Amino acid sequence: MYATLKRLYDSGRLPEENLKKAIPLGWITADDYKTITGEEYEA
């Protein structure tokens, strides 16, 4: 799921707010979020 979300985020098709929603669902971790966006995850 990480690769798909990263691709969508990088292409501009997944807004940052929607990417944050993937963390509580267990699709990515907070560390993955930081890797993708370059920003710390804040709940």
Amino acid 15: pLDDT: 98
Is 30 in contact with 41 (CB distance < 8 Å)? yes
Amino acid 20: pLDDT: 98
3-state secondary structure of 8: helix
Which ranges constitute the DSSP H helices of 1-43? Answer: 2-10, 16-21, 30-37
Amino acid 32: pLDDT: 98
Amino acid 21: pLDDT: 98
Amino acid 43: pLDDT: 83
Return d(Cα 43, Cα 3) in angstroms, integer.
22
The predicted-structure confidence for 1-43, as pLDDT tens digits, reads as follows 999 999 999 999 999 999 999 999 999 999 999 999 999 999 8
